[in-house]
Structure 1
């Protein structure tokens, strides 16, 4: 009699789960006919924030909707957007901060939907040996920040909420990969950083890491964007793309433990790194006033901080709402 080992059992369970999911998708869509789809290239940031795309790829949701999708990995939302602007990819994933800055520079950017939000992705980190017990203690201290990004916007927001003058701190502008090393080598006394930098600092630091930030003061969103000229000639492709993402989000929310393991394996990172921020992520498709207000607020900040030299764009024109509206109509 053969013995079913734990690895074999895990494999059998995985096959059963994936088969069940695939059957559910087939049953849901087997009577629908979709037009042929050319190859779609999507720039995807290599972070758990991009989980809906990674899950849709792994579980075949793109193929179920007759979408021939290739995911192109990027180091950040800004890098993905650059690939899209260069026309190396057709779509990109990017934070609302990237969308905001790009909208000052070009008028062909289209935002189709937000697929994840987090009110705790940005953190203001320091080390206990610096004896900084609160935001007010940052006066006269060196704070590492990435210029003109969510890192700087978050820092300024935290300072304002704590009645601390921006001029009272010494901003040290760094590249993203320099933030954690600068803190751990004591070149700066605090950093304004997004995940997974908080995880990395906590993992690598000998000294205890303290978060001075305020949860909820900044709502990060990751969004699907494209170029308006491209969207004019692709028929219902964006609608089916959002359908695939919605299926992936439904699966993630119904199977959080399996999703954690799938994302950790797909990104080739430790499971505990994904778990570090997982509870902070709200996976859902949306395109509404909250995102619009966030873009408008950040645009005013960019102008006041002299990071841009133009009038704010009308972000309502940046929203390409037709695919999302079609998705809502299909839900009813």
Structure 2
């Protein structure tokens, strides 16, 4: 065999070997990708949801073998409704939303809290309305979001000012309607969470006043799921979700300024808008007695105010601690 033919033969064999290696490598990558557990999470569009945006952007979900789809929703009530309608596997919501929904849906489960704030809720009014204190809300219309932290915070402000029986009118609105209702003077004040306070301040032609008290209420943002989904989930899916969140929280706390800019990009907001409330947020993955006591307190409030019809659930059964316990054990 001539040297030229031998070279051509070796070249052909080499091409075949490379082709086989490429084929099986590609097949392995496809199989590995398809083996990732698909998870759909309804995420409230607020900086409080930062760990989810960061975990998605930095690949922490993927590192845990999860193919996560984040579905945006306008507030925890909407997120939870999507989960209850089986549109998503998990939802983010405040403890107030969990409390209200638990009276109606006994299969709700709380896996973990991932964010807290003492100053996310505000009671806002406009200077021309000449409302300078909470007692000036006598006979006024107050925009609130029914069955949410907005309503609990407003009532807490009344109670803290010894004005529980103040004569006023609650106007139940959707989250997207709160700021427009205030700026158009359809209501005299709104009980709202961020970034609505920022939007009101930026869009208003007059000065926006905060009548609230940042020390009376600690908002927590939590991850919820239906118990049936958790019991049927395979391959420790809930634990892996929590591990990804835990990694994201560590990164946020180590890189707060970069994280803030990343969250602004994820929410399609300006950095200034996220910075408005960023310093008030605390990110940590936890599941403790303080949260349990807060939910019980709110349940008593809702019952006393006639905001719920059924008997309160046993919130010890609402807490679903096993995934969090496994997360803590994996840290050691």
Q: TM-score range by the shorter chain?
A: 0.7 to 0.9
Report the equivalent of 1:260.
260
Worse overlay, 313-322 or 89-98: 89-98
Q: How far is the alpha carbon of 1:231 from its aligned partner? A: 1.2
Q: 3-state SS of the aligned residue for 2:295?
A: helix
For 1:236 and 1:68, how far apart are their aligned partners in 2? 14
Q: 3-state SS of the aligned residue for 2:103?
A: helix
What is the RMSD computed on CA atoms of the aligned residues? Answer: 1.4
Q: 1:29-60 deviations in whole A, cap 9, x for unaligned? A: xxxxxxx5421111111221111011011001
Q: TM-score scaled by structure 2?
A: 0.86
User: Unpaired segments of 5 or more residues in structure 1?
Assistant: 1-35
For 1:112 and 1:174, how far apart are their aligned partners in 2? 29
Report the equivalent of 1:246.
246
For 2:79 and 2:173, how far apart are their aligned partners in 1? 20
Q: 1:49-97 deviations in whole A, cap 9, x for unaligned? A: 1110110110011111111211122222222212212222111111111
For 2:171 and 2:84, how far apart are their aligned partners in 1? 29
Report the equivalent of 1:23.
none
Alignment of 1:242-321 (within 5 A): 242-321=242-321
For 1:131 and 1:70, how far apart are their aligned partners in 2? 46
Q: 3-state SS of the aligned residue for 1:191?
A: strand
Report the equivalent of 2:121.
122
8 Å CA contact 1:142, 1:190 repeated in 2: yes
8 Å CA contact 2:134, 2:211 repeated in 1: yes
Report the equivalent of 1:168.
167
Q: Does 1:211 align with 2:181?
A: no
For 2:242 and 2:162, how far apart are their aligned partners in 1? 42
Q: Does 1:78 align with 2:77?
A: yes
Q: 3-state SS of the aligned residue for 1:39?
A: strand
Q: How far is the alpha carbon of 1:296 from its aligned partner? A: 0.8
Alignment of 1:124-143 (within 5 A): 124-143=123-142
Report the equivalent of 1:32.
none
8 Å CA contact 2:97, 2:147 repeated in 1: no
Q: Does 1:63 align with 2:62?
A: yes
Could you list the structure 1 runs, at least 4 aligned residues long, displaced by more than 3 angstroms after superposition.
none
For 1:182 and 1:95, how far apart are their aligned partners in 2? 23
User: Unpaired segments of 5 or more residues in structure 2?
Assistant: 1-34
8 Å CA contact 2:123, 2:154 repeated in 1: yes
Report the equivalent of 1:189.
188
Report the equivalent of 1:22.
none
Report the equivalent of 1:148.
147
8 Å CA contact 2:94, 2:148 repeated in 1: no
Q: 3-state SS of the aligned residue for 1:41?
A: strand
For 2:46 and 2:144, how far apart are their aligned partners in 1? 20
8 Å CA contact 1:156, 1:166 repeated in 2: no
- Computing the radius of gyration from Cα coordinates, the structure with the larger value is 2
Aligned residues: 297
For 1:317 and 1:47, how far apart are their aligned partners in 2? 28
Q: TM-score scaled by structure 1?
A: 0.86
Worse overlay, 244-253 or 65-74: 65-74
Q: 1:104 to 1:203 in 2, by over 3 A?
A: same
Worse overlay, 132-141 or 223-232: 132-141
Q: How far is the alpha carbon of 1:114 from its aligned partner? A: 0.4
For 2:290 and 2:97, how far apart are their aligned partners in 1? 17
Q: 3-state SS of the aligned residue for 1:166?
A: coil
Report the equivalent of 1:9.
none
Report the equivalent of 1:11.
none
